[in-house]
Amino acid sequence: MTDRPEPPLWGTLIAAALRSAGISAREAARRADISEGRWRQISSGYQVVSPGVYARVRGPAATLAKMAAVAGVSADELRASGRADAAEALLRQQEAEAMLRHQEQRLPREEMLERVRAMDIDQARELLAAIVVQLGISLPESAADEPERRYGT
């Protein structure tokens, strides 16, 4: 094809989102972990094959989803621009990222519980005493002696 194609709707959408966010195509490509040239091909909808000769480019759904995430384009906007495949890929990417964040937050808690469960009675008492001090809790004298009476330790 010898006439430069018009950018696809999704390319125009991503370019507008980048402009409003103040992000350059170079920076956006870096964040999406793709080359700047590939970013420009997908967003413009073509690549130059030779001087004056253009070939249409329709980026893979997963790549377009990464681009949309960087630009701040939603799955609904991608779907409305004619790329339902990229919208679904974006939703899958967002779900995977949310699960990863949840696991990262959960891991230290689970690790801490395992360490507490592995403590012997003296270590557990020291931990509880440190917590009481940190929280500024003052226990009545009788409460401090209660575990010894209850468990005979």
For the segment 22-39, what is each residue's pLDDT rounded down to a tens digit?
Answer: 999 999 999 999 999 999
Residue 82 lies in a domain: yes
State the pTM of this model.
0.66
What's the total number of domains in the chain? 2
- Residues 60-116 pLDDT 10s: 999 999 999 999 999 999 999 999 999 999 999 999 988 888 777 666 777 788 888
* Angle formed by the axes of helices 61-71 and 9-21, nearest 10°: 30
d(CA 85, CA 73): 14
CATH number of the domain that 49 lies in? 1.10.260
Same domain, 71 and 126: no
In whole angstroms, how far apart are CA 12 and each of 42, 77, 109, 126?
10, 11, 44, 62
Cα 140 to the center of its chain, rounded Å = 48
> Do 80 and 109 reside in the same domain of the chain?
no
Contacts of 83 (CB under 8 A, 6+ apart): 10, 61, 64
Residue 73 is part of which domain span? Answer: 9-86
Tokens 């500024």 belong to 136
Question: 128 with 82, same domain?
Answer: no
